[in-house]
A and B are shown apart, each in its own frame.
Chain A
Amino acid sequence: MSRLGKLFSRDDTQPWHGAYAPYDLVKELCVAVVVVTLLAVALAVLFSSPDEKPSTLGQWSRELPVNFLGTATKQLNGTSGTAEYGPPYNNGTASVQHAAFFRPQEWFGVSHPIDTANDYVIDPLRTIPGDTALRAALAEYEAAPEKTRKAWGEAYAKPLEEYETAVEENKTPPHTVKLDPSTDSVSVTSSGAGPVPTMMTRLLSLAQSGGLDGALLTSHQFYQTDYTKPLLYMADGELLAKRAEEQHLLGTQWGMMNETGSFPGQSWLWLYTFWYQIEPFKSSHNADLLVIIVMSVLSLLFVCVPFLPGVRDLPRGIPIHRLIWREHYRSQRRA
Chain B
Amino acid sequence: MSASSERPASWTVRVREAGVSALPPEKLLPDGQPTYVASWIYVFGVASIASLVVIVTSGTILALKGPAWWHDTSVGHFFNSIHLWAVELFFFVIVVHLWGKYWMAAWRGGRARVWITGAVTFLVAIPCALTGYVSQQNFDAQWISTQAKDAMNSVGVGAFFNLTNFGQMYSYHILILPAAVIALAVAHVLLVRRHGVVPPFEIGRRAAALGDVGGDGDGGGGSGDGRAVAQPRAGASPTGASGEAAS
Contact = CB atoms under 8 A, between A and B. Distances in A.
Interface of A: 1-2, 4-5, 8-26, 28-29, 32-33, 35-37, 39-41, 43-44, 47-55, 87-88, 95, 97, 104-109, 111-112, 225-228, 231-232, 234-235, 240, 243-244, 247, 249, 251, 255-256, 259-260, 263-264, 266-269, 286, 288-289, 291-292, 299, 302-307, 312-313, 315-316, 318-322, 324-335
A331 B156 CA distance: 56
Contacts of A55: 139, 142
Contacts of B216: 316, 319, 321
Interface of B: 29-39, 41, 43, 46-47, 49-51, 53-54, 58, 71, 77-78, 80-82, 84-86, 88-89, 91, 95, 100, 102-105, 107-113, 115-116, 119-120, 123, 126, 129-130, 133, 136-148, 150-151, 153-156, 158-160, 162, 164-168, 170, 196, 198-203, 208, 211, 213-214, 216, 219-221, 225-227, 229-233, 235-239, 241, 244-247
A332 B203 contact: yes
B202 A244 contact: no
Contacts, number: 364
Nearest to A263: B84
Given A37-B54, A52-B139, A334 B231 contact: yes
B139 to A, nearest CB: 4
A288 B146 CA distance: 13
B109 A52 contact: no
B199 A19 contact: no
B104 to A, nearest CB: 6
B91 A54 contact: no
Given A51-B77, A324-B103, A44 B36 contact: no
Contacts of A105: 153-156, 158
A211 to B, nearest CB: 20
- CB-CB nearest 5 A-B residue pairs: A18-B230, A225-B167, A15-B245, A19-B232, A306-B107
Contacts of B148: 256
A327 B199 contact: no
